[in-house]
């Protein structure tokens, strides 16, 4: 049983066969308090054309889900069953609140757009005076040149020839004249899309606190086979020793084993779970594990699980004089 002061279990939302965490606070809790990192798989709205930096949701490995639920650190949420059809009254109240929220947001935006500009600072005033003095000198030079050639100088109301007017100066002058005026046209219509559906009045999360209950409901059936149980046991044994674990597919194993947070440390081992201490490993696999570990500067860790005793034994493979 968890203590009265223990933090609330993290909700893991099950969508199909994927386990997702949508709350940033829950993601931070998993990483800092429970040493569970997962993999961010969401697209960043401001950088949608790349996949190097990703955001929420956090996708958890199946072994991570099993560990968290067994330790009562998380509960499973059936996403499909958590959104019953709203009643007519609930929908009307939600629609009315949404309309009022949109109206208030539009009023706030219009107020910001009509807000008078701030008073110019000393530097801005100095630049304006220099710009006006430069225009005056240019006008005087043109007037003197026209007088020498006996031509009549045509000026506009600002004292500058329209066809010879400096474009940057004209743009700056137009900007100066427009400052302080409220926009005459109505602001463009804009729409706000709510980012979370968990606040809907009819949202009723259907949670499962144990793997047995989730299995009975058909929500979560992992682990099923002996190999899957071996993976869960090996993952649990490494986690209990204080390690962080990440996906190891790119390195030919099940997980990468880190001595600390992966943002601060390199992994030391590439771990592979074996279904039984007497499981067979072919010589070619031993050679492949050793060569791959040498190339990546990691030792390959074989995790043998004894189903009878529940114990996990570890064997590392590395080339002679490795490191």
- Catalytic residue chosen out of the listed positions 185, 258, 265, 300: 258
Tell me whether residue 300 is one of the annotated catalytic residues: no
- Catalytic residue chosen out of the listed positions 266, 268, 297, 300: 266
User: Would you call 214 exposed, middle or buried from its count of C-beta atoms within 10 A (0-12, 13-18, 19+)?
Assistant: buried
Residues 6+ apart with CB under 8 A from 18: 59
**Residue 285: φ, ψ to 5°:** -70, -40
C-alpha–C-alpha distance, residues 234 and 304, integer Å: 8
Q: Got the DSSP string for 2-35?
A: --TTSPPPEEEEEETTEEEE--HHHHHHHHHHH-
- Catalytic residue chosen out of the listed positions 13, 231, 298, 300: 298
Angle formed at CA 273 by CA 256 and CA 211, multiple of 5 degrees:
95
Which pair of tokens denotes residue 181?
């005026």
- If we measure between CA atoms, which residue out of 35, 40, 42 comes closest to residue 64? 35
Tell me whether residue 298 is one of the annotated catalytic residues: yes
Tell me whether residue 266 is one of the annotated catalytic residues: yes
Fill in the DSSP letter of residue 110.
Answer: H
Which pair of tokens denotes residue 152?
């009549």
- If we measure between CA atoms, which residue out of 70, 27, 204, 210 comes closest to residue 10? 27
- The residues carrying an active-site annotation are 258, 266, 298
């Amino acid at each position: 049983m968890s203590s009265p002061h223990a933090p609330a279990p993290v909700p893991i939302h099950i969508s199909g066969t994927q386990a997702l965490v949508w709350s940033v606070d829950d993601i931070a809790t998993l990483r800092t308090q429970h040493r569970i990192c997962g993999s961010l798989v969401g697209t960043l709205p401001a950088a949608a054309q790349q996949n190097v930096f990703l955001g929420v949701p956090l996708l958890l490995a199946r072994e991570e889900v099993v560990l968290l639920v067994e330790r009562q650190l998380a509960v499973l949420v059936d996403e499909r069953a958590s959104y019953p059809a709203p009643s007519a009254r609930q929908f009307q109240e939600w629609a009315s609140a949404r309309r009022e929220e949109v109206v208030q947001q539009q009023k706030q935006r219009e107020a910001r757009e009509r807000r008078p500009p701030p008073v110019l600072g000393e530097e801005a005033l100095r630049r304006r005076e220099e710009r006006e003095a430069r225009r005056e000198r240019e006008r005087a030079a043109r007037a003197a040149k026209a007088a020498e050639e006996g031509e009549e100088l045509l000026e506009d109301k600002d004292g500058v020839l329209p066809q010879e007017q400096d474009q940057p100066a004209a743009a700056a002058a137009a900007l100066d004249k427009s400052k302080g005026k409220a926009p005459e046209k109505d602001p463009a219509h804009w729409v706000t899309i709510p980012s979370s559906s968990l606040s809907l009045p009819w949202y009723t999360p259907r949670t499962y606190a144990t793997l047995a209950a989730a299995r009975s409901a058909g929500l979560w059936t992992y682990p099923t086979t002996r190999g899957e149980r071996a993976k869960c046991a090996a993952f649990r044994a490494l986690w209990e020793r204080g390690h962080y674990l990440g996906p190891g597919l790119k390195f030919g194993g099940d997980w990468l084993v880190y001595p600390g947070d992966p943002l601060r440390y390199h992994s030391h081992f590439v771990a592979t779970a074996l279904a039984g201490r007497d499981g067979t490993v072919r010589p070619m696999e031993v050679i492949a594990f050793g060569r791959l570990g040498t190339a990546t500067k990691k030792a390959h860790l074989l995790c043998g699980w004894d189903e009878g005793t529940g114990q996990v034994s570890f064997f590392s493979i590395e080339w002679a004089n490795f490191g």
